[in-house]
Amino acid sequence: MPKSRVGPRGKSTSYERIWTVVRRIPAGRVATYGQVARVAGLGGAARLVGYALHALPEKGHEVPWQRVINAQGRISQRGFDGVERIQRRLLEREGIRFDAREKVDLARFGWRGGR
DNA sequence: TCCCTGACTGGTT
DNA sequence: AAACCAGCCAGGG
């Protein structure tokens, strides 16, 4: 798995552009990986968004990574650790609701930002 | 530099 | 509903 990287002289990398977009998602809203990729100008590179979030440093950033879920309205599984559970708790704390099948209603909680 | 991988997605079968 | 699959892109070996 790739690591976080900052380009020379603070030049913007794709990861940074992704993080910048994610920072614009307001509390109480969620965006999909594909949506973030498009807003960041990365076309359909949804997978790259997942990578960029995985590469976030553990501390010192203000990126609400929990607000990015998949197009099915569900939290993507990572295998191993239980980060998914933490993500769900963080979202519920912001008012996001999950149905009995662990899904978020994107029509109701989806972010209508970006353009 | 080539090759593989992956917190994904939308269309087809 | 579910499996398949080609696109997508940068990082690391």
Q: Is A111 a residue whose pLDDT tops 50?
A: yes
Nearest residue, CA→C1' of C12: A2
What's the CA A51/C1' B3 distance, rounded, in angstroms?
18
Q: Is A6 a residue whose pLDDT tops 70?
A: no
Q: Show the 3-state SS of chain A.
A: CCCCCCCHHHCCCHHHHHHHHHHCCCCCCEEEHHHHHHHCCCCCCHHHHHHHHHCCCCCCCCCCHHHEECCCCCCCCCCCCCHHHHHHHHHHHCCCCECCCCCECHHHHECCCCC
Q: Which nucleotides of B are covered by protein (CB under 7 A)?
A: 6-10
Q: Which nucleotides of C are covered by protein (CB under 7 A)?
A: 7-12
What's the CA A60/C1' C6 distance, rounded, in angstroms?
38
For residue A1, what pLDDT is reported? 52
| A63: CB within 7 A of chain B nucleic strand | no
pLDDT, tens digit, for every residue of A20-64? 999 999 999 999 999 999 999 998 899 999 999 999 988 788 999
